[in-house]
């Protein structure tokens, strides 16, 4: 039965969908005592030909009520390290020309240490060893002078040690030595986001994309920054580009679903949420966005099913009470 949901449900929609916040890039561990001195999560990333994957960004995070998220960048030997809480840690690598790679490791047992070996598998048209088929990125990266790379490496090490303030001058110097260092601009944006320097981070990420448009992580970070600062109209473009560059990434469509909802594009929000779910998005909040997008289109029964799916996946979520209340309101309206 189709209903016209009451205004209270719509107020709840705005509040709860906003609570399904855009992924927090700058989140730190809520239990600082669980995070060691930046080395308890170590990894080695290599290509299928066993060559080290240089300057590849690794995203790490936890799910659940205590959230944590950070980024690490591999060095010239393909190694990275960071400090992580004693929890189940998710990790993901999205490198242009390579299949998205993800996994998880249970670090909840003392001494909370791990060493992960990760192999990147090439997509058709990608040369062995990480070189995309197009020579544009190759030529630019090949032209990076050694002293700029040294500064970049120093900035990367500082970020891996969660010394974001210490990373910034190294990355700025790397850029001064090589103004087309898109990777340095991107990493500078990460450091600035972690320091809550939003305006500077925005400038750095825009510059990274200006130099090299095919950087999915920079597009994603810029979209997140726009969305977190209530500029959904600006966030839509970077997230769309992120989805173009990494079409199998469910996060791209989840972010697009939230932005579309904020822009009152409810059919688009539904479409993107369903795409994210099809790609196996791990954040159960995507079902909340789908539910409210369906409610806005007067599809009450389908909305209720989406809400029930969320509660099944994450019954202890802080948003669960609001979602249960919305289901009750739907039932009350349906039986009037």
Domain range annotation of the chain: 1-25+196-336, 27-121
Residue 184 near residue 155 (C-beta atoms within 8 A)? yes
Helical (H) or strand (E) element with 117? strand 114-120
Q: Is the pLDDT of residue 69 over 90?
A: no
As a whole number of angstroms, the distance between CA 120 and CA 141 comes to: 19
Phi and psi, residue 235, nearest 5° = -70, -30
Least confident segment among 71-80, 86-95, 119-128:
119-128
Residues above pLDDT 70, as percent of the chain: 83
As a whole number of angstroms, the distance between CA 319 and CA 301 comes to: 20
As a whole number of angstroms, the distance between CA 177 and CA 258 comes to: 39
93-113 average pLDDT score: 83
Q: Supply the angle between the helices 182-194 and 198-211 in degrees, to the nearest 10.
A: 160
pLDDT in the model for residue 94: 86
Residue 12 near residue 288 (C-beta atoms within 8 A)? no
Q: Please state whether beta strands 41-47 and 114-120 pair in parallel, antiparallel, or not at all (unpaired).
A: parallel
Q: Is the pLDDT of residue 61 over 80?
A: yes
Which tens digit of pLDDT belongs to each residue from 200-239? 999 999 999 999 888 888 898 899 899 989 999 999 999 9
Top-ranked range on mean pLDDT: pick from 68-77, 85-94, 139-148, 172-181: 172-181
Which residues 6+ apart lie within 8 Å of 31 measured at CB? 66, 85
43-55 average pLDDT score: 82
Q: Is the pLDDT of residue 144 over 70?
A: yes
Top-ranked range on mean pLDDT: pick from 29-38, 102-111, 205-214: 205-214
pLDDT in the model for residue 43: 87
Sign of CA dihedral 51, 52, 58, 61: positive
Residue 135 Cα distances to 97, 117, 126, 181, 219, angstroms: 12, 28, 11, 16, 21
CA angle, 118 then 92 then 168, to 5°: 100
174: left (phi over 0), alpha (psi -120 to 50) or beta: alpha
Tokens at 146, concatenated:
């050694």
Tell me if the pTM is above 0.85. no
Residues, the chain, total? Answer: 336
Regarding the domain delimited by 27-121, which CATH topology (the fold level of the hierarchy) does it fall under? Immunoglobulin-like (2.60.40)
Residue 55 near residue 183 (C-beta atoms within 8 A)? yes
CATH code for residues 1-25+196-336: 1.25.40.10
pLDDT in the model for residue 17: 55
pLDDT in the model for residue 307: 93
Q: Is the pLDDT of residue 6 over 50?
A: no
Residue 58 near residue 92 (C-beta atoms within 8 A)? yes
36 confidence band (pLDDT: 50, 70, 90): very low
Averaged confidence pLDDT in the chain: 82
128 confidence band (pLDDT: 50, 70, 90): low
As a whole number of angstroms, the distance between CA 312 and CA 238 comes to: 32
As a whole number of angstroms, the distance between CA 172 and CA 187 comes to: 10
3-state secondary structure of 123: coil
Tokens at 308, concatenated:
């029930």
Phi and psi, residue 131, nearest 5° = -90, 120
Top-ranked range on mean pLDDT: pick from 54-68, 153-167, 312-326: 312-326
């Amino acid at each position: 039965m189709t209903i016209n949901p009451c205004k209270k449900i719509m107020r709840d929609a705005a509040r709860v969908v906003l609570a399904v916040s855009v992924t927090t890039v700058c989140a730190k561990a809520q239990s600082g005592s669980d995070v060691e001195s930046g080395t308890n999560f170590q990894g080695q990333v290599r290509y299928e030909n066993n060559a080290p994957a240089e300057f590849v960004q690794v995203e790490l995070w936890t799910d659940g009520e205590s959230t944590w998220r950070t980024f690490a960048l591999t060095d010239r030997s393909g190694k990275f390290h960071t400090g992580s809480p004693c929890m189940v840690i998710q990790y993901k690598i999205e490198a242009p020309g390579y299949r998205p790679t993800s996994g998880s490791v249970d670090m909840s047992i003392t001494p909370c240490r791990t060493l992960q070996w990760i192999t990147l598998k090439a997509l058709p048209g990608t040369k062995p060893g990480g070189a995309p088929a197009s020579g544009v990125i190759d030529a630019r990266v090949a032209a990076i002078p050694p002293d700029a790379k040294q500064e970049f490496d120093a900035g990367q090490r500082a970020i891996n040690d969660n010394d974001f303030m210490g990373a910034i001058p190294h990355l700025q110097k790397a850029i001064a030595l090589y103004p087309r260092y898109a990777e340095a601009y991107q990493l500078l944006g990460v450091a600035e986001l972690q320091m809550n320097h939003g305006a500077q981070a925005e400038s750095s990420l825009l510059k990274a994309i200006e130099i090299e448009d095919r950087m999915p992580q920079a597009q994603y970070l810029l979209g997140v920054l726009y969305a977190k600062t209530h500029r959904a109209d600006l966030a839509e473009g970077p997230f769309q580009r992120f989805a173009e560059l990494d079409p199998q990434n469910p996060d791209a469509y989840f972010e697009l679903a939230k932005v579309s909802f904020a822009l009152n594009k409810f059919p688009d929000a539904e479409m993107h949420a369903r795409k994210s779910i099809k790609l196996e998005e791990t954040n159960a909040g995507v079902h909340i966005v789908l539910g409210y997008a369906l409610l806005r289109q007067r599809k009450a029964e389908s909305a209720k099913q989406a809400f029930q799916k969320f509660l099944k996946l994450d019954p202890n979520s802080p948003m669960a009470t609001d979602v249960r209340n919305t289901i009750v309101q739907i039932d009350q309206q349906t039986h009037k």
